[in-house]
Structure 1
């Protein structure tokens, strides 16, 4: 009798232990909170108040309003975006750290370092496209140069007596390819930012400049600059009167893209949830109108399409960095 009781007791303890183990294994699955269960951080590669910061905060606020989820913007400037890109790539792949930045600039940065900290093709995952933004060739509104044809002719005649302004890396790359295709040899005048460059362009201190779309469009609307051409491979509906350099026989197609990225290894369902947040905002008329005021066009793209564009831009960036003879760090 005692033997039977002891054996039965042992069996019950084994069964109870197995049930406890099963409960311990399965409970976390049931207890796991749906994403996102805490604030999501959008990382901006430039300081607060910059054009990039304004764009990142627009989407942070719009997504927070449309979903009710808390979105925080964290500015991590430095090294033309390399610091923030590496920070995101090294973050936990859980969807709570999102890099919102120019995919073209991120791709180009890979070729600007002898030993890149990350490879954006393998260390970052695309989430959603935001917009496409080319740089523009501009002159002061009082310049005698009224068209890109006149600028082309002037640069070929003036040689190194002509000057041009650039600020961002993307501006240098467009200027390098434009001048290579044209055969012009003007002297470069570098500036820290597009806004610092504007007074010299307006006052004809430089003959022309290559600048970002926000500066180009805003300053044109204010009657200070004249936009002559776009670096995109086609005319854009945001500025249909502005010709593309391809219309003059130049093989120039530099279209910057803004997108959202997360660390490689982020679960696909989390990526899809984030993509849905961005798409819901991008599909609104207000957001599309806002992006067009910045000189670009909305780019609603899937995670796979964002990854594909990054791979293409890494190859294009390597070619352009060599063409522009930019120094590597």
Structure 2
């Protein structure tokens, strides 16, 4: 019993130190790691958010692209970083929903190794084909593939494009070949060049090509038509049973002080409510959809982890 007051004093001291840290945070530039290449949709979203967040924090928020290995490189880097709030992670369902079911011997844990801060929103994906493709609808494209088994291929630089494409392939009964890519820009280049025939692309990297008419949209991953592509039909209407949401969110390494987490969450709520930010993200086809608290985001991540596990199993994709 004689040690009890000393323990209370120690706890009080730690709490006071944590609060003091949050009051002076940040006192140096903050790094936001993106696990995809420059020019990708997540990179574009991160740069818009980082620019406004730096204004609010009164410190530079620097983008650090650590692309490769299906977002594993960036995730492992952040998981090992010091949990002081100076290393953040703008990532997606690829690293935190899909990889645990796609990759054997994953070297990070999506729940234990990270501190959830907030969901940012949804970056819709669109199923696109070369502008010279005769198909004018997803149904017509499916019929075309069925008539030519084994002669069509699709690009897959990330888990969303892989799972979406394989789900369509399974439900529609298609014989189509997956071609892996390291980045979305590279996949788009080959789609335009005719090396692959289909790509489920994030609108962040694909919207420019879509608006220019270089590629043709045959469907979108959202449940309802998008304002940015009002004529595009949701894939679920042509492929019953299709149910996929591609989300973006911000994490830190595990063990971040709660006052800093709460401060970042509060600042990001203001960033995502900003009309200029919403307009800039909207031009990418991105829909802001923040969670109110870190705890709400943590629950969402856990739910999505279970959901994507089911999607991947149903699609018949085996971990490698």
Give the TM-score category using the shorter length.
0.7 to 0.9
What TM-score do you get using the length of structure 2 for normalisation?
0.84
- State how many pairs are aligned: 305
Q: Work out whether 1:93 is the aligned partner of 2:77.
A: no
- Measure the CA separation in 1 of the matches of 2:181 and 2:223: 26
After superposition, what is the alpha-carbon deviation per residue over 1:264-296, rounded to whole angstroms, capped at 9, x for unaligned? Answer: 332332211101111111111211122122222
Tell me by how many angstroms 1:225 deviates: 0.9
Counterpart of 1:184 in 2: which secondary structure?
coil
* C-alpha contact (below 8 Å) 2:75/2:95 kept by paired residues: no
| Residue 314 (structure 1) aligns with | 305
- Measure the CA separation in 2 of the matches of 1:75 and 1:139: 28
| Residue 6 (structure 2) aligns with | none
* C-alpha contact (below 8 Å) 1:143/1:204 kept by paired residues: no
- Measure the CA separation in 1 of the matches of 2:153 and 2:217: 17
Tell me by how many angstroms 1:199 deviates: 4.2
| Residue 269 (structure 2) aligns with | 279
Q: Work out whether 1:297 is the aligned partner of 2:295.
A: no
* C-alpha contact (below 8 Å) 2:157/2:187 kept by paired residues: yes
Q: Work out whether 1:77 is the aligned partner of 2:67.
A: yes
Paired residues for 1:1-329 under 5 Å: 29=16, 32-33=20-21, 34-39=23-28, 40-48=30-38, 50-302=40-292, 303-322=294-313, 323-328=315-320
Higher alpha-carbon deviation: 217-226 or 29-38: 29-38
Sort the Cα spacing of 1:238 and 1:300 in 2 relative to 1 into closer, same or farther, 3 A. farther
Sort the Cα spacing of 1:226 and 1:262 in 2 relative to 1 into closer, same or farther, 3 A. same
* C-alpha contact (below 8 Å) 2:48/2:280 kept by paired residues: no
Tell me by how many angstroms 1:87 deviates: 2.7
After superposition, what is the alpha-carbon deviation per residue over 1:287-307, rounded to whole angstroms, capped at 9, x for unaligned? Answer: 112212222211121322321
Tell me by how many angstroms 1:128 deviates: 1.5
- Measure the CA separation in 1 of the matches of 2:59 and 2:229: 35
Sort the Cα spacing of 1:159 and 1:91 in 2 relative to 1 into closer, same or farther, 3 A. same
Tell me by how many angstroms 1:204 deviates: 4.4
- Measure the CA separation in 1 of the matches of 2:15 and 2:163: 51
Tell me by how many angstroms 1:231 deviates: 2.1
* CA root-mean-square deviation: 2.7
* C-alpha contact (below 8 Å) 1:105/1:170 kept by paired residues: no
What TM-score do you get using the length of structure 1 for normalisation?
0.82
* C-alpha contact (below 8 Å) 1:167/1:211 kept by paired residues: no
* C-alpha contact (below 8 Å) 2:128/2:216 kept by paired residues: yes
Sort the Cα spacing of 1:32 and 1:309 in 2 relative to 1 into closer, same or farther, 3 A. closer
Sort the Cα spacing of 1:61 and 1:215 in 2 relative to 1 into closer, same or farther, 3 A. closer
- Measure the CA separation in 1 of the matches of 2:306 and 2:123: 18
After superposition, what is the alpha-carbon deviation per residue over 1:69-121, rounded to whole angstroms, capped at 9, x for unaligned? Answer: 33233333332222322332333333222111114433212223332222212
Counterpart of 1:158 in 2: which secondary structure?
coil
- Measure the CA separation in 1 of the matches of 2:225 and 2:44: 26
After superposition, what is the alpha-carbon deviation per residue over 1:124-170, rounded to whole angstroms, capped at 9, x for unaligned? Answer: 22211212013221112222111112112222222223333333232
- Measure the CA separation in 2 of the matches of 1:146 and 1:140: 11
Higher alpha-carbon deviation: 132-141 or 237-246: 237-246
Sort the Cα spacing of 1:26 and 1:326 in 2 relative to 1 into closer, same or farther, 3 A. closer
* C-alpha contact (below 8 Å) 2:125/2:200 kept by paired residues: yes
Tell me by how many angstroms 1:310 deviates: 1.4
- Measure the CA separation in 1 of the matches of 2:14 and 2:286: 48
* C-alpha contact (below 8 Å) 2:94/2:158 kept by paired residues: no
